[in-house]
A = this chain, B = another copy of it.
């Protein structure tokens, strides 16, 4: 199976073999492993390279002075940690590993080559950014307007859909390395209330959740419960060539 990020970019533009080779070269120069619950980069760090998540889950988060913590976005396999970070000197928030994370680093020169000499890759990367922004806005809606149950249902729908895009689902199941505390910091709820809401989702058969594995027996039902409309993920754009692989 192709790596997640290739699979993902390929859905946003039809890449040539040449494009893919260049991508492979640029992303296989340097990498590292970050243990679960460690920081990938910390707020204030000097920006060296762009990190691409090859495996594992990470998140962007911000702390308030009194210790409250908000996870502002999830970074799943194939996702890039902020392209536009190159115009910045220092990180303006921290990125933490949720599970063990495998990183690939993209150097400034490598990125510039991609952007200038590979227009289809450039297009795909623009899409990546656009979708990331759109997700960020949807989270605003989630936190501002939805009830606890809707928030969690919506989150699960989003996660499942994003993982499916990069081939990390298995039937109606996928991994879910988030603790209930994590879920609370994503949805703006207390861990206790997350627990009770999960029980409700379970008892109504909307989700099955055990040993870090999420199963969604009927996606439509969960989507209804979470008012999930996948439009903001812009899957409608997904490349024509997918017809061949699906």
Interface residues of A (CB under 8 A from B): 60, 62, 64-65, 68-70, 72-73, 82, 84-85, 87-89, 92-93, 123, 126-127, 129-130, 133-134, 136-141, 143-146, 185-188, 227, 231-232, 234, 237
A87 touches B144 (CB 8 A): no
Known: A60-B137, A227-B65. A187 touches B84 (CB 8 A): no
Closest beta carbon of chain B to A128's beta carbon, Å? 10
Q: Which residues on the B side are within 8 Å of A134 (C-beta)?
A: 92
A234–B88 contact, CB under 8 A?
Answer: yes
Give bound CA distance, A138 to B60, whole Å.
Answer: 11
Given known A84-B129, A136-B133, A137-B136, contact A144–B70 (CB-CB < 8 A): yes
Q: Which residues of B contact A136 (CB under 8 A)?
A: 133, 136-137, 140
Query: With the chains together, A138 CA to B134 CA distance in Å?
Result: 15
Using known A-B contacts A62-B137, A64-B227, A234-B92, determine if residue A187 contacts B144 with beta carbons closer than 8 Å: yes
A108 to chain B: closest CB distance in Å?
Answer: 14
Q: Are B123 and A62 in contact (CB under 8 A)?
A: no
Contact B68 A145 (CB under 8 A): yes
Give chain B residues whose Cβ lies under 8 Å from the Cβ of A138.
62
Which residues from chain B contact A70 at a C-beta distance below 8 Å?
A: 140-141, 144-145
Pick from A68, A133, A145, A185 the residue with the most CB of B within 10 Å. Answer: A145
Contacts A84-B130, A92-B231; A140 near B139 (Cβ below 8 A): yes
Asked whether B141 lies within 8 Å of A64 as measured between CB atoms, the reply is yes
A55 → chain B closest CB, angstroms: 24
Tell me the smallest distance from the CB of A158 to a CB of chain B, in Å: 14
Q: Are B143 and A72 in contact (CB under 8 A)?
A: no
Judging by beta carbons under 8 Å apart, are B133 and A84 in contact? yes
User: With A137-B136, A140-B136, A188-B145 known to touch, is A127 a contact of B234 (CB < 8 Å)?
Assistant: no
- 4 extra interface residue pairs, beta carbon distance < 8 Å, beyond A70-B140, A88-B130: A64-B145, A84-B126, A144-B186, A144-B188
A146 CA / B126 CA spacing, docked (Å): 32
**Closest residue on chain B to residue A68 by CB atoms:** B145
User: A142 → chain B, closest Cβ, in Å?
Assistant: 9
Please provide the 3 A-B residue pairs with the shortest distance between their CB atoms, ordered closest to farther.
A144-B188, A143-B143, A70-B144
A123 touching B87 in the complex, CB below 8 Å, given contacts A72-B141, A137-B93, A143-B144: yes
